[in-house]
Chains A and B, each alone.
Chain A
Amino acid sequence: DGGITQSPKYLFRKEGQNVTLSCEQNLNHDAMYWYRQDPGQGLRLIYYSQIVNDFQKGDIAEGYSVSREKKESFPLTVTSAQKNPTAFYLCASSTGLAGFYEQYFGPGTRLTVT
């Protein structure tokens, strides 16, 4: 089955530690995205990538970093510089960036930092 996988589902970290969230897709999509969702809120875009070896900051990129070395993979690192890292993180992909493409989401990773 084609889809997006994110691991782990739940992640716990101590404050001051960097943590990397995994996102893999086998849909052969060029574009990939990372969103953050806080309780009762909508999604906010962290980073997006249109193609391998290229990525752009979204609205809330501070304290996060990404890489796109392979088409299938778009890992997100939450650094110690991110002031409020506890959130639900969602990875998505689409054929392209244009507005007529639908985005497909992974199941999400719930990160708790204490």
Chain B
Amino acid sequence: DAKTTQPNSMESNEEEPVHLPCNHSTISGTDYIHWYRQLPSQGPEYVIHGLTSNVNNRMASLAIAEDRKSSTLILHRATLRDAAVYYCILRYSGAGSYQLTFGKGTKLSVIP
């Protein structure tokens, strides 16, 4: 899987929007962009994924750059429950892409 680069940490005030960036300059045309998050001592939680177009779901939005070399996870109103480590992961869509390769991720702190 191609590599991603994320900031080590970010802070946000509660109830404000949060934009978590991810750079993936070596992404290939068949790589999906996945986001997961992990709270302390819990299993990772799927957040959202996309290929080319922006995506929305009940948890977040994913904005993908036109050249696909970067993407941004948007949490529309941060809550204390959103404090977690967020991982941006590229996954090849074809056969053999069976595991998730987690990097360091971005640790998001939410300030009350």
Q: Which residues of A are in contact with B by a Cβ distance under 8 Å?
A: 31, 33, 35, 42-43, 45, 48, 50, 56, 58-59, 88, 90, 92, 97-100, 102-108, 110
Contacts and interface: CB of A to CB of B under 8 A. Distances in A.
A108 B43 contact: yes
Contacts, number: 65
Interface SS of B by simple majority: loop
A82 to B, nearest CB: 19
Per CB-CB distance, the 6 closest pairs between chain A and chain B, nearest first, are: A99-B91, A105-B43, A42-B102, A99-B97, A45-B99, A102-B46
Chain B interface residue bracket vs A: 20 to 34
Contacts of A58: 99
A48 B102 contact: no
Interface of B: 30-32, 34, 41-46, 49, 51, 91-95, 97-104
Contacts of A102: 34, 46, 49
Nearest to B34: A102
A50 B99 CA distance: 12
A98 B94 CA distance: 6
Contacts of B49: 100, 102
